[in-house]
Structure 1
Amino acid sequence: LLSFIGLWYAFNAFFNVQNKLILNQFPYPWVVSWFQLASGLLFVLPMWFTKLRAPPKVDRSLVLKFLPIAALHCGGHGLQVSSMGAGSVFFTHVIKATEPVIGTLVLLAFTGKIAPWWVNACLTPIVGGVAYAAFKPGTSFPLSDLVGYASLAALGSTVAFSIAKLLAKSLMGKETKQKYNLTAPNNYAFLTICSTTLLLLPSALGEGGAALAAFQQMPDQLAFARQLVACGFLYYGYNEMGFRVLDLLSPVSAAVANSLKRVAILLAAVLFLGEQVSTRKIIGSSVAMGGVLLYSLAK
C-alpha cells in the first residue's frame, strides 16, 4: 500500500511538472490531452493481449454505461491541461482545491441531497482560502484572477470530474464490477479507451492543423514525441495508482491521502518549475488545503 501511495504522489507531481514544460513549448492543450490519454493505451493493451492482466468483459451495455462518464473525463482532463497552459500549476491546483465545494453543489443539483451543516461548515475555509490566495489588493477588481481563463478552465474541469464521479457511483455498482471484471485498474483502463476515442475528433478539429505545423517546426521532433508519451505514461500511472489506493483505503485514510497528494503537487510546482509564490498564495492555499482535509474527515 505504501508503495502505491508513493508512486501515486510521484507520478502525479512529475506529470504536472512535465505537462507544464510541454505546454510551454507546444501550446495546444487539447492535442496534448489526447496524446496523454492515448499513451495509456500503449501500457494497458499489451497487458491485456499477453494475459498479464485479465481484461474486462466488454459488451454494448458496458460501453453505453461508460460513454457519459468518459465524455466528462476527457472534457475535464482537457480543461485541466488548458488551465495549466494558461496559468501556473500552483494556482490551477489551488482552484481545484474547491472540489469539495463543487461536489456538494453537484450532489445537491442532481440528487437533492445535502450533507449535515457541520460538514458543509468545513467548506468555508476552502472558499476563503482560495479567495485570499487570488486576492490582489489595490487593483480595480481584486478578484480578477478568479474570472481569468486559467481559473475558469480549472473550475470547469472540477465540475466535469465531480459529475463524472457521481455518475460512476450510480452506474458502477458492485454487481456491475463483478459481472464485467472491472477491477480498479481495468475500470480506469476502459475509461481511458472510451475517453481517448471521444476526444480524438474534437482535438483534431480544434487544434490539429496548428499543432501539426508547430510539431514540424521543432528541431528535435523525436525527443519531443518521447517527452509527450512519457508524460502520458505518468498521467496514466498516477490515475491507476489512485484507483488502486482509493480501493484499498478506508474513507478517512483516503481523504487524508488525497489531501496530501495536492500538497505534493504544489511543492513540485515550486521546486521543479520555479514558480513564484507570494506569501498571500501560500497562506491562502494552506487554509484551503486544511479545509479540504477537515471536510473530508467530517464527511
Structure 2
Amino acid sequence: MVDVGLIVYLTAWYLGNYYYNIFNKTAAKAGGGSEYAMIMAWIQMAVGAVYALALWILPEARKAPAITFTQVMKLAPVGFFTAAAHAGAVFSLSAGAVSFAQVIKAAEPAFAAAIGYAVYGSSVSRAKLLMLVPVIGGICI
C-alpha cells in the first residue's frame, strides 16, 4: 500500500526547500552578499522566535511548555547547533551557488544522526539510517 500522505508531505518539503533556497539567494544578493549573511540568519531566527512566542501568548494560543531551567540548559546545545547549521546554510547560499548550499544542507540529517550518536549516545536504527538516503539524495537532486 502506498502512503499518499507521506508522499505529499515529502513533496511539499522538497518544494518548500527549493523556494526557500531561491528566495534566500535573492535576498542575499539584494542585501549585499555574504558580507551580511549572518545578519540575515539572525533576523530569520528572530522572526521565527517572535512567531513561536506569539503562539504561546496570544488569545486562544497553545499552552506554553512547562520546563525547568535545568531542562532549558540541557536543550541549549541543541539550540546552538541548530542555529549554527541555519547560519551555515544562509552563508552558503549567499557565498556561492544554490547547488553548493544544497550539498551543505544535505549533510544536516547525517550530521544530526552522528552528533546524536557521538554526543548523546542515542542509537540510530537501521530504518532511520536508510531513510537518510532518500532525504539526502532528494536534497542533492
Do these two structures clear the TM 0.5 threshold for a shared fold by scoring above it? yes
Give the structure 1 partner of residue 72 of structure 2.
63
The alignment covers a number of residue pairs equal to 128
Structure 2 unmatched runs, 5+: none
Give the 3 Å change call, closer, same or farther, for CA 254–82 of structure 1 in structure 2: same
Deviation at 1:7, TM superposition (A): 2.8
Match of 1:147 in 2: none
The alignment status of 1:4 with 2:4, answered yes or no, reads: no
Greater Cα shift, 39-48 or 86-95: 39-48
Cα gap change, 1:66 to 1:95, in 2 (>3 Å) = closer
- Higher mean alpha-carbon deviation, 18-27 vs 42-51, is at 42-51
Q: Distance in 2 between matches of 1:48 and 1:98?
A: 32
1:31 aligns with 39
Q: Is 1:79 the counterpart of 2:88 in the alignment?
A: yes
- Which residue in the other structure is 2:27 paired with? 22
Given the two structures, how large is their TM-score scaled by the length of structure 2?
A: 0.69
For normalisation by structure 1, the TM-score amounts to 0.36
Contact 2:92–2:104, Cα closer than 8 Å, also in 1? no
CA distance in 1, matches of 2:108, 2:86: 14
When residues 86 and 252 of structure 1 are mapped into structure 2, their CA distance, relative to the original with a 3 A threshold, is: closer
SS of residue paired to 1:170: coil
Distance in 2, matches of 1:77 and 1:57, equals 26
Q: Please, which of 23, 41, 61 is the counterpart of residue 49 of structure 2?
A: 41
Q: Which residue of 1 aligns with 2:116?
A: 166
Once residues 128 and 77 of structure 2 are traced to their aligned partners in structure 1, the CA distance between those partners, rounded to angstroms, is 26
- Whether contact under 8 Å (2:85, 2:108) holds in the other structure is no
Cα displacement (A) at 1:52: 4.6
Q: Map residues 61-210 of structure 1 onto 2, 5 A cutoff.
A: 61-97=70-106, 103=111, 165-166=115-116, 170=120
* Shift in Å, 1:262: 0.1
Structure 1 unaligned runs (5+)?
104-160, 174-249, 267-299
Identity %: 26
Q: Residues 97, 11 of structure 1: CA spacing in aligned structure 2 closer, same or farther, 3 A cutoff?
A: closer
Would you say the 8 A contact 2:41–2:90 is kept in 1?
yes
- Distance in 1, matches of 2:84 and 2:18, equals 21
CA distance in structure 1 between the partners assigned to 2:66 and 2:93 by the alignment: 36
Note closer, same or farther for the CA distance 1:98–1:255 as it changes in structure 2 (3 Å cut): closer
Structure 1 96/5 Cα, relative in aligned 2: closer, same or farther at 3 Å? closer
The counterpart of 2:139, out of the listed 262, 269, 275, is 262
